A and B are shown apart, each in its own frame.
Chain A
Amino acid sequence: MNGPPHLWLIPLLPLAGFLLNGILGARLPRWLVTTIGLLAPLGALAVVLNATAVAASHPGITVCKGCTYPQGSFYLPNVETCPHAWIALPGLHVDFTFVLDQLSLVMLLVVTGVGFLIHVYSVGYMRDDPGYARYFSYLNLFLFFMTTLVLAGNVLVMFVGWEGVGLASYLLIGFWFQKPSAAAAGKKAFIVNRIGDFGFLIGIFLLLANFGTLTFSEIANKLAASPIWSSGVLTAICLCLLAGAAGKSAQLPLYVWLPDAMEGPTPVSALIHAATMVTAGVYMIARTHFLFDRAPIALGTVAIVGAATAIFAATIALAQNDIKRVLAYSTISQLGYMFLACGVAAYSAAIFHLVTHAFFKALLFLAAGSVIHAMGGEQDMRKMGGLRKKLPVTFWTMTVAVFTIAGFWPLAAFYSKDAILYAAFVHGVGGKFLWFVGLVTAMLTALYMFRLWYMTFFGELRTADAHPHESPWSMRAPLIVLALLSICGGWIGIERFSSYLAPAVGLHPAVSSFPHLELILGIVAVLVALEGFLIADKYYRRKTERPAQLAAAMPAEYKLLANKYYVDEFYDARLVKPLFWFSQFVLGWVVDFAILGGIAWLLAGIANLSGAILQRWQSGNLRSYAAWLALGAAALLLFVLLGHHFAEPPRIMVNLVRGH
C-alpha cells in the first residue's frame, strides 16, 4: 500500500474512456459503451480511494521543503512530474506536474465520487438517446480535464484543465445541438468563460513576470521569503485570477451563462454546472490562497462579489418557474457563499461547503432530472404538482436535499453554511454585514427551495395528459447514495475538516471573544431557514392563491425578478449589440471589406489591367509571333554586341570571346 499512488492514472483512465467511446462508440454495442463509460470514472475513483487510504495511514506527516524521504513511501503533498519537461526555455521551465495534497485529495474524492454516481445515473437518464456513446465520451472527457485541473501542480497545467472543462461544458450544454437554444447556450457559456479566462491568462503572465515560475509551491515559497512584496502587484494578480474564477464559477457579473447552461442534459447540469466544474473557481482561489492572503483588497473584492452574487441569485430564484433554472440560480447563490468564505480567508469553510454543496446540489439536480424524466421532459413547475405519491424515492431524496440546502440541523449544509456565516461574522465590521447578507440569503434559499418542493410534489397534478412513473434503479440508486451523503456529509465538522486541510490552505482560526457565539449563530441560521420554510408553506401549500395576488400587487418588482433583473437584456443592449456592431461594421466592413478587401482588389486590378494590355500580343497569328521572336533575338544580339559599352559584358560572352 505504500507504493506510488499513480496519480497519472486518475486523468488518463477517463481519457481512455473518452477515446474508446468517442472513436468506436457508435459501432460498439450499448452495454459495452456503458461498461467503458462507467469503468473509467470507477477506476479513477479507485485510484483516488487508494491514495486516500495510503495518505490516511500516514497521519499528520507533511513534507517540508528540501526534505528527502525514503523512496517508495508516501506523504502529502505527493508530487508526480512527467520526466520530460513540458516547456523548457531560458527563463521559463514548466513541467507537467501533478500534486496530491489534502486540498486536491478532497476535491478529487468529490469529482470522481459524485462523478461516478452521475455516470451511473446517466445510464438510466440517457437510455433512449441516440447520442448515447457521444454523451459518455464527453462525460469522460470532462472528468479527464477536471482531474487534471484539480491535480495541477502549476498554474499552466491548471489552465489546461481549466480550458478543457470549459470545452467539455460547451460540448455537453450543446449536446442536443439540434435545438437552437441549446447550441446558443453552449456558445454563450463558452464566450462568457473566455472573458473570465482572459483575466486568468493575464494573471498567469503577471505571475510569470513577477515570480519567474508558475509552480504553486515555488510561488508560495518566494512569497514567504520576502514579506515586503509589493501588494499592488499581488492585488492586480489576484483580481485577474478572480476574473477567471468569477467566469468559471458563475459569479457577478459573469454568471449569465449558467442559467442558460440548463439546456444540457440534467445529469450534466448536476455534474458540471452544480457539483464540480463551477466550483473550480473556488478551488483555484483556495489553491492560490497564499497570493490572496497578501492582497487584502482583492480578498475583500472576493467577499463582496460572493455576497452580492449570493443574494442577487437567490432573489432571482424566487420568481423562476423552470425547475432547473431555480436550481441554477441556487447554484450561483451557493457559489456566492463559497466566494464569500474565500473572501474572509476561511478557505477550509469554502471547501467544506463546496463538498457538501456537491452532494446536495447534485442530488437536487438528479432528483429534478428524475422528475423531468417522469413528466416526459416537462420542466415547468406550474405544470407539476402532487408527484409525492407517484415518485416516492425521488420525493424523499429531494426532501432530504431541500432540507439540507435550507440548512437544517443535522444535515450537511447546516455545518458548512454555518462555518461560512461564523467566519464572516468574526471577520471585523465588514464581516458583520457580509454575515447579514448571508443570513438573508439563507432565508431566501429556504424560501425558494421549499417553493420548488411544494410546487412539484404537493397539491394536485396540474397537467392532464402526464403519466408520471418512477425512474429506473440506475437513476434511483445514485439518488439514495447522494441523499445519505447529504445527510452525513457535514458530520465531520468544520474543526476537523479545517485542521485536515490546514497544510494545504493554511489555518485561519476564527476566534471569538464570546464563547457560545457559534452556537447562537447556528440557532439564528436555523430559525431563519425555518422562517423561509414557513413562508413557503403558507404561500405555496395553504394559500396557493397568495403568490399570484402578491405578484399582482407588486407588478414592477415581480417582473423585475421574473425577468432576472433584465441583466441579459442589459448585456445584450450594452455589450453584445455594440460589440456585434463593432465587429460587423468596423471590423467586418471597414477593416475586412474596405481595407483588406481593397488591397486585394487593387492587386487583382493591376493584374487584370496588365493582362488586358498584354493579351493583345496573343494575336494567334504565327507570323506576328515569329516577328516578335526575331525582334527579340535581334535585340538580344544588339545587347550582347553593345553591352560592354554600358556594363560588364555577360559572362557567357567573355567565355566565348576568350575561346579556350
Chain B
Amino acid sequence: MSFMQHDVPLTWYLLLSAVLFSLGVVGFLIKRNLITVFMSIELMLNAVNLSFVAFAYQWHAVKGQIFVFFVMMVAAAEAAVGLAIIIAVFRTRATLAVDRIDLMKL
C-alpha cells in the first residue's frame, strides 16, 4: 500500500509548508504589531512542523514526529514567555508597534 497511490503526494505537503513558512517570514518582516509578529513566528514553526511530519510519514521514521513534539514544546514555552514580555512592554510603553520599541540600540 503505497503512499503515492492513495494519498496526497509529499511534494504538496512541502509546497504548503514552504508557502506557510514564507507567509510567516513576510509577516514577520512587514507587520508592525508585535502580536502579529509573534503569530508569524508561530506560523513559521508550524510550517516546519508540517514538513517534519510529512517526511516522517514518507520515510516511516518516528524521529521526525519526535522533533515535532520538541518544537511544539518549545513553541509553547516561547508563547508563554513571549506573551508575558509583550504584556510587560505594553504596560510600560502603551504601544505594541515594533518600530517604537527600540530602546536596546546603542
Would A620 and B28 count as touching, CB distance under 8 A?
Answer: no
* B102 on the A face (CB < 8 A): yes
* B103 on the A face (CB < 8 A): yes
> B102 to chain A: which residues have CB within 8 Å?
619-622
Would A630 and B25 count as touching, CB distance under 8 A?
Answer: yes
Would A627 and B106 count as touching, CB distance under 8 A?
Answer: no
Q: How far is the CB of B17 from chain A (nearest CB, A)?
A: 14
Q: How far is the CB of B4 from chain A (nearest CB, A)?
A: 17
Report the separation of the CA atoms of residues A660 and B30 in the bound assembly, to the nearest whole angstrom. Answer: 39
Would A619 and B105 count as touching, CB distance under 8 A?
Answer: yes
Q: How far is the CB of B22 from chain A (nearest CB, A)?
A: 10
Report the separation of the CA atoms of residues A623 and B25 in the bound assembly, to the nearest whole angstrom. Answer: 11
Report the separation of the CA atoms of residues A618 and B99 in the bound assembly, to the nearest whole angstrom. Answer: 14
Report the separation of the CA atoms of residues A620 and B25 in the bound assembly, to the nearest whole angstrom. Answer: 19
Q: How far is the CB of B35 from chain A (nearest CB, A)?
A: 13
Would B28 and A626 count as touching, CB distance under 8 A?
Answer: yes
* B8 on the A face (CB < 8 A): no
Would B28 and A630 count as touching, CB distance under 8 A?
Answer: yes
A600-646 at interface with B (beta carbon < 8 Å): 615, 618-623, 626-627, 630
* A659 on the B face (CB < 8 A): yes
Which of A630, A659, A660 meets B29, CB within 8 Å?
A630
> A626 to chain B: which residues have CB within 8 Å?
28-29, 37
Chain A: interface size category: 10 to 19
Would B59 and A623 count as touching, CB distance under 8 A?
Answer: no
Which of B29, B34, B37, B103 meets A620, CB within 8 Å?
B103
> B30 to chain A: which residues have CB within 8 Å?
623
Would A621 and B98 count as touching, CB distance under 8 A?
Answer: yes
> B61 to chain A: which residues have CB within 8 Å?
660
> A659 to chain B: which residues have CB within 8 Å?
59
Report the separation of the CA atoms of residues A627 and B31 in the bound assembly, to the nearest whole angstrom. Answer: 12
B1-54 at interface with A (beta carbon < 8 Å): 25, 28-30, 34, 37
Would B105 and A618 count as touching, CB distance under 8 A?
Answer: yes
Would A622 and B59 count as touching, CB distance under 8 A?
Answer: no
Report the separation of the CA atoms of residues A621 and B106 in the bound assembly, to the nearest whole angstrom. Answer: 11
* B104 on the A face (CB < 8 A): yes
* B76 on the A face (CB < 8 A): no
Would A618 and B106 count as touching, CB distance under 8 A?
Answer: yes
Q: How far is the CB of B21 from chain A (nearest CB, A)?
A: 10
Would B105 and A620 count as touching, CB distance under 8 A?
Answer: yes
Report the separation of the CA atoms of residues A660 and B99 in the bound assembly, to the nearest whole angstrom. Answer: 46
A1-46 at interface with B (beta carbon < 8 Å): none
Would A621 and B29 count as touching, CB distance under 8 A?
Answer: no
Would B59 and A660 count as touching, CB distance under 8 A?
Answer: yes
* B77 on the A face (CB < 8 A): no
Map CB proximity to B onto A552-591 as digits: 1 under 8 Å, 0 otherwise.
0000000000000000000000000000000000000000
Interface pairs (20), CB distance under 8 Å: A618-B105, A618-B106, A619-B105, A620-B103, A621-B102, A621-B105, A622-B34, A622-B37, A622-B98, A622-B99, A622-B101, A622-B102, A623-B29, A623-B98, A626-B28, A626-B29, A630-B25, A630-B28, A660-B59, A660-B61
Which residues in A have some Cβ–Cβ distance to B below 8 Å? 615, 618-623, 626-627, 630, 659-660
Which 9 pairs across A and B sit closest by C-beta, in order of nearness?
Answer: A620-B105, A620-B102, A622-B98, A615-B106, A620-B104, A619-B105, A618-B106, A626-B28, A621-B102
17 new A-B contacts, CB < 8 A, other than A619-B105, A621-B102, are: A615-B106, A619-B102, A620-B102, A620-B103, A622-B34, A622-B99, A622-B102, A623-B29, A623-B30, A623-B98, A626-B29, A627-B29, A630-B25, A630-B28, A659-B59, A660-B59, A660-B61
